[in-house]
Amino acid sequence: MSADILNASLTDTAEAIRTKKLSSVEVVRAAIARAEALQPVLNCFIQLLGDEALAEAERAEAELARGQLRGPLHGVPLAHKDMYYRAGKRTTCGSKIRKDYVADHDSTALKRLLDAGSIYLGGLNMAEFATGPTGHNEHWGDNHNAWNPAHIAGGSSSGTGSAVAARIVYGGLGSDTGGSIRIPSSINGLVGLKTTNGLVSRRGLMPLSFTMDTVGALTRNVRDNARITAVMAGQDARDPTTSHRAVVDYEALLEAPVKGLRLGVPTNYYYDVTVPEVEKLQRDSLAAFADLGVEIVELEVPDMHVPTHMSNIVFVAEAVALHETWLRERPGDYQAQVRSRYEPGIHMPAEKYLRALGLRAKLLRDFTEAVFSKVDVLHTPGLSMPVPSLADTDMAAGQGMPEMVAGLSWTTRSNNYLGIPALAVPCGFTANGLPAGFQLMGRPFSEAKLFQLGHAYQGVSDWHTRVPEISK
Amino acid sequence: MAQISRELILAQAREFGGDVPTAERAEELAAHLNVLIGALDQASADLAFEAEPANMARTLDELAGD
């Protein structure tokens, strides 16, 4: 029974709770039971808050009995990367340095999800300080993949990837500064959205690179992601970088026809390092889009090494600005890989950092003109390679680490510098039995179109309905 | 601009405090930074004098596709 409950989608579960066909308490109990059963295998939770969640579920049920519905997530358990602050509660950021950190304010994104009725099941494992694409964590233990625990869960939102894939929760927040939502989404067979910079408030999110950090969700299907995104999106007076644009009802637009939309396929950069079996899955997904009446257009994109390099300049400078004191006083409390990723920032000249930021708008214009004047959306691999094993990617700061990080984020990193949205969608499995995905990118604030295309694809494919053995 | 050197990395690291890199690591860091800075110098060669970081938010808004 609990397997059936937890394998349903977020939106179906919310509807079943709203119409009292299902009790929130029953759902939360099932989620806790599965979380406890799988924790020794996956290690996806840093803080599992079962008692707190159960009390909230009882409150949600009592509210419904009184005819009170908080919002579109009423009674649904979610769990989030352990870097979203809750006033007075512990948030570890996956680190030793902040293992007992208690914030004095709430994350706006998380608060909006709670205000919409969702239940907080706990804080999920993650790469230390959201830095790392694999899910290795020396402080809290490595995170394992739900499809095969010998493989990585991806990062940095590793715990959200494996907890959602393992059907412990229906969705959860990650954060994306260079691919940290999309990489674990592709690796775990999930839908993950890197939002347009400014769409969702970053207030109360542990910062890593404040001009490139974005908030978004990992879910099992596009509709669920559209719902969570709509709840979180919108201006926040406490985050001056949020956009004033009206929030779009993404779910209402999901069924809009996709016939005639132009989907771009890059002839350069994105497939340079993509292995053949991953490329085949990309081509298969493009064929499915063509069958839906979407026009497939091959095109040359600008040299993506440039925004990728620029993102690395901005990232290291901002990370060191944030971590300066700890890097001086507590260097041994960082994992070697994380410390080595920040280290170049100590030596990055200020004028280069500011020039890289000044160049950002120009490169965004150039990219938009080169790509989105010809197509509506760009389709690329989500990950260029089959999901690697934990052992193969366990290299601390040693030889090969920079190449490994660059390889895993080959298709994702430039988006954060350009500020544009990107949606990861599962599109099959490679020979090692692990998931693969594609990525859809669009103009700024074009999330509705990305959801629309991703939803249409999920209407003619069933990858998102597959369940890992561990959760059957 | 003059290239970042291993010696500069080591001098700055001693000034900064914390872990000081080995000479080999300093060499790697210098090479990495020079690649990034070289790419920036080339890409921004014709950047307008008035370009500033705050333009990004306005540009996202102008190019919006919602």
**Global model pTM greater than 0.95:** yes
Residue of B nearest to A348 (CA): B33
pLDDT of residue A400: 81
Measured between alpha carbons, how far is A276 from A283 in angstroms, rounded to an integer?
10
Mutate to test the interface with B, among A359, A403, A420 (most CBs of B within 10 A): A359
Q: Which of A23, A107, A156, A414 is catalytic?
A: A156
What's the pLDDT at A1? 42
Where exactly are the structural domains of chain B? 6-62
* Predicted local confidence at residue A397, as pLDDT: 63
CB contact under 8 A, B33 and A344: yes
A396 touches chain B (CB under 8 A): no
Residue window 1-60, chain B: list those with CB within 8 Å of chain A. Answer: 4, 8-9, 12-13, 16-19, 21, 29-30, 32-33, 35-37, 39-40, 43-44, 47-48, 51-53, 55-60
A222-232 and A10-18 helices, crossing angle to 10°:
70
Q: Which residues of chain A have pLDDT under 70?
A: 1-3, 397-398
Per-residue DSSP letters for A86-138? -TTSB--TT-STTTT-B-SS--HHHHHHHHTT-EEEEEEP-SGGG--SS---T
- Rounded alpha-carbon distances, angstroms, from residue A298 to A177, A264, A289, A446: 28, 6, 14, 21
pLDDT 10s digits, A441-471: 999 999 999 999 999 999 999 999 999 999 9
How does pLDDT run across A355-405, given as a tens digit for each residue? 999 999 999 999 999 999 999 999 999 999 999 999 999 877 667 888 888
Which tens digits make up the pLDDT trace of B2-54? 699 999 999 999 999 999 999 999 999 999 999 999 999 999 999 999 999 99
Domains contained in chain A, CATH given:
2-471 (3.90.1300.10)
Examine the predicted complex and report whether its ipTM is higher than 0.90.
yes
pLDDT in tens, A56-81: 999 999 999 999 999 999 999 999 99
Residue A270, both tokens:
């994105």
Which residues in chain B have their CB less than 8 angstroms from residue A448's CB?
Answer: 66
Which pair of tokens denotes residue A5? 């409950």
- Compute the nearest-CA separation of A335 from chain B (Å): 13
Q: Where are the alpha helices (DSSP H) in A166-221?
A: 182-188
